[in-house]
Amino acid sequence: MTTTNAALRPDETGPASADVAAEAARRRTFAVISHPDAGKSTLTEALALHARVIGQAGAVHGKAGRRGTVSDWMDMEKARGISITSAALQFSYRDTVVNLLDTPGHADFSEDTYRVLTAVDAAVMLIDAAKGLEAQTMKLFAVCRHRGIPVVTVVNKWDRPGKDALELMDEVAERTGLTPTPLTWPVGIAGDFRGVLDRRDGSYHRYTRTAGGATVAPEEVLSPAAAAAREPDAWAQAREEVELLDATAGGHDQELFLSGVTTPVLFASAVSNFGVGALLDVLVDLAPAPAGRPDTDGVARPVGAPFSAFVFKVQSGMDAAHRDRLAYIRICSGVFERGMVVTHGPTGRPFATKYAQHVFGRERESIDVAYPGDVVGLVNASALRVGDTLFAGRPVTFPPLTTFAPEHFAVVRSLETAKHKQFRRGIEQLESEGVVQVLRSDRRGEQAPVFAVVGPMQFEVAAHRMEHEFSAPVHLEPLPYTLAMRTDEASVAGITASSGTEVMQRSDGELLALFTTKWVMGVVRNGKPGLTLEPLVAAQLG
């Protein structure tokens, strides 16, 4: 967890530092995490709608005539109705600047989601009311817990049949170890969502549906007495359940929330825009503002220190007309000013930030100034890779981002030999973005690199982008390997002497030993104990 307790250095104090700290205090930077199809992108769109930055919401699986969500901009995302790349949206709400990072829900893209979680200060954990906590949600929650990221829980799709609300609270407590502290409670069972009881003041917030959920749902606030008269049975049941909660779980405690002991809970229907405004208010009121970020030595660089940031994502193909490349940076300290020259940490060279933009899905606009917590897109930043640090003034290096060990491998061959340059450029681009890991060997040659990925859907994305962005259609030939381990030059001959193995080199110079099964790896290791075979879990980018 970030901290503000680090001592300020002489160059980190004064009026300018205080101004930056004030601006940082206005920022809320968070990600939405969930299992696929829990409604994450729909919620992202609904939040933007409630903040009045768009006039009409789309839905991933919307009705005819409804637009696709702003955050899902890739052709494959629109066609499949799932998020396969993270997206950044920035907008103002009340007196707060909101940086909302939408993430892929599919497990095949969990590495992208992990990187996004390094750039946020809080997370919204979205749960399907009918399915409860699912596998991918739990994996991403584990990342949040490891990083000390406080979590707000939203039970979505309450407009559809689902589990009992109290049962869901028990599930959250048992499986996450967090104590759920509901701020709102549903009036009406799952599938009959009428509104919510606000536990903080006892009022009833009654919702009215709009056509297709495309506009903000009207909300009427009633007193307990008026609620009992309007919805006697549903209100009585909600009151009875809240009394049970009062007896077993306390109300919201900000310190316990920030320390990862409790999770505030809200009930909503993102597709109907029910309860979305309440979530925005909770994020503004309760989610933490940016704080000092620890460097590699564990010392926090205060938000008022000179400018620093790190790259957590690189994306190309967002602008089909210009084929540009966008590096997303999370600002950690100081003021970012467009055109400023900063230092590129890995090389120590100057880096000019001439083209800087705020991102709203696929749409962008140039920005002049940004502050800690903000996410800025640097255009055509070909020198930047995921995990790189940028800074002004005192040098700083932030901890590198970890990669996931690949489990699927495929040889990549160009279908059109005349397009060798496009093929090579596309491979290099996908590799630099972290879309795939690229392995090479003398045995296979430069024309047949190997894609190494966490999940097979990454192959589809890579092949689609090679054809449509780089005009270099490819053929992927699956390889039988399922396990990769780090090795060294001295071990290569011993490893490859056994069948079911191969050694290849990654672009960062690491040698990876590939095995068809864990059994094969065990045979190799036991037969020659002196070989270097180390897990890849600790492999790092940057």
CA atoms within 13 A on the CB side of 398: 30
Which of 257, 286, 315 terminates a domain? The answer is 286
Cα–Cα distance for residue pair 131/154, rounded to 1 Å: 13
Same domain, 190 and 129: yes
Residue 391 — very low, low, confident or very high, per pLDDT cuts 50/70/90? very high
Residues annotated in a binding site: 102-106
Q: Is residue 342 within 8 Å of 396, Cβ to Cβ?
A: no
Which of 239, 269, 286 terminates a domain? The answer is 286
Residue 317 has a pLDDT of 56
Q: Is the pLDDT of residue 484 over 90?
A: yes
Residue 487 lies in a domain: yes
Residue 107 lies in a domain: no
Residues of the chain above pLDDT 90, percent = 56
CATH of the domain at 393: 2.40.30.10
Q: Is residue 30 within 8 Å of 120, Cβ to Cβ?
A: yes
Residue 87 — very low, low, confident or very high, per pLDDT cuts 50/70/90? low
Same domain, 521 and 394: no
Q: Is residue 394 within 8 Å of 323, Cβ to Cβ?
A: no
Cα–Cα distance for residue pair 227/248, rounded to 1 Å: 24
Residue 15 has a pLDDT of 57
CATH of the domain at 274: 3.40.50.300
Same domain, 265 and 305: no
Residue 64 — very low, low, confident or very high, per pLDDT cuts 50/70/90? very low
Residue 84 — very low, low, confident or very high, per pLDDT cuts 50/70/90? very low
**More confident call, 70 vs 131:** 131
Same domain, 275 and 310: no
Residue 83 — very low, low, confident or very high, per pLDDT cuts 50/70/90? very low
Same domain, 147 and 282: yes
Mean pLDDT of all residues in 159-178: 96
Q: Is residue 103 within 8 Å of 116, Cβ to Cβ?
A: yes
Residue 115 lies in a domain: no
Q: What is the DSSP string of 262-326?
A: EEEEEE-BGGGTBSHHHHHHHHHHHSPPP-PEE-TTS-EE-TTSSPEEEEEEEEE-S-TTTT-EE
Q: Where are the alpha helices (DSSP H) in 442-507?
A: 457-468, 492-496
Query: Which of 454, 448, 443, 458 has its CA nearest to residue 411?
Result: 448
Same domain, 140 and 265: yes
Question: Which structural domain, as residue segments, surrounds residue 237?
Answer: 31-82+122-286
Residue 313 lies in a domain: yes
Cα–Cα distance for residue pair 288/284, rounded to 1 Å: 8
Burial zone of 250 (CB within 10 Å; 0-12 exposed, 13-18 middle, 19+ buried): exposed
Residue 7 lies in a domain: no
Same domain, 391 and 453: no
Cα–Cα distance for residue pair 530/217, rounded to 1 Å: 66
Residue 77 has a pLDDT of 43
Choose the weakest-confidence range: 76-85, 87-96, 367-376, 520-529: 76-85
What's the domain count of the chain?
A: 3
CATH of the domain at 474: 3.30.70.3280
Same domain, 214 and 347: no
Q: Is the pLDDT of residue 115 over 60?
A: yes
Residue 58 — very low, low, confident or very high, per pLDDT cuts 50/70/90? low
**More confident call, 364 vs 523:** 523
Q: Which residues pair with 359 in a beta bridge?
A: 364
Q: Is the pLDDT of residue 3 over 50?
A: no
Same domain, 199 and 53: yes
Same domain, 306 and 409: no
Q: Is the pLDDT of residue 323 over 90?
A: no
Same domain, 61 and 192: yes
Same domain, 326 and 192: no
Burial zone of 262 (CB within 10 Å; 0-12 exposed, 13-18 middle, 19+ buried): buried
Q: Is residue 127 within 8 Å of 167, Cβ to Cβ?
A: no
Q: Is residue 329 within 8 Å of 359, Cβ to Cβ?
A: no
Q: Is residue 394 within 8 Å of 11, Cβ to Cβ?
A: yes
Residue 109 — very low, low, confident or very high, per pLDDT cuts 50/70/90? low
Residue 496 lies in a domain: yes
Which of 263, 286, 309 terminates a domain? The answer is 286
Residue 389 lies in a domain: yes
Residues annotated in a binding site for GTP: 102-106
Residue 23 lies in a domain: no
Q: Is the pLDDT of residue 518 over 50?
A: yes
